[in-house]
Amino acid sequence: QITLKESGPTLVKPTQTLTLTCTFSGFSLSTSGVGVGWIRQPPGKALEWLALIYWNDDKRYSPSLKSRLTITKDTSKNQVVLTMTNMDPVDTATYYCALHSTVTTVFFDYWGQGTLVTVSS
């Protein structure tokens, strides 16, 4: 059974750095073709893809947020970490992590439940 779960602070102040952790089970991030991505959704708005890390440590970022994002993985702990610097109230959103595989659908087959992050002083 594949599961993913996001964790991190629910409230951050403007200018702070956000660190979110995705802890997963049921698959390995050392398997060829597997990746874990981060997607966010401001309240009442659309989904926005943020970042993706592959089994081979290849990393991809949203061009509009690239300067603020860092994605890393710890294969032994089954975790992926996303950091976003210089947080602003417009970054208030539910943040999801999701499983991606280039050998299955190529899309996000499994998602975490999401974690709501509010940016406010």
Partner 1 sequence: EIVLTQSPGTLSLSPGERATLSCRASQSVSSSYLAWYQQKPGQAPRLLIYGASSRATGIPDRFSGSGSGTDFTLTISRLEPEDFAVYYCQQYGSSPVFTFGPGTKVDIK
User: Contact residues for partner 1 (CB under 8 A)?
Assistant: 37, 39, 46-49, 52, 60, 62-63, 96, 98, 105-109, 111-114
Quick one: 24 or 112, whose CB is closer to partner 1? 112
Quick one: 73 or 114, whose CB is closer to partner 1? 114
State the burial class of residue 83 (Cβ atoms within 10 Å of its Cβ: 0-12, 13-18, 19+).
Answer: middle
State the burial class of residue 107 (Cβ atoms within 10 Å of its Cβ: 0-12, 13-18, 19+).
Answer: exposed
The amino acid present at 38, given as its one-letter code, is: W
Quick one: 31 or 102, whose CB is closer to partner 1? 102
- Answer yes or no: are the C-beta atoms of 50 and 43 closer than 8 Å: no
- Compute the least distance from the CB of residue 37 to partner 1, in Å: 7
- Compute the least distance from the CB of residue 28 to partner 1, in Å: 20
- Compute the least distance from the CB of residue 84 to partner 1, in Å: 16
For residues 91-106, b (16+ Cβ closer than 10 Å) or e, as one string? bbbbbbbbbbbeeeee
- Compute the least distance from the CB of residue 107 to partner 1, in Å: 4
Quick one: 58 or 121, whose CB is closer to partner 1? 58
Query: Could you identify the residue written with the tokens 């950091």?
Result: 83
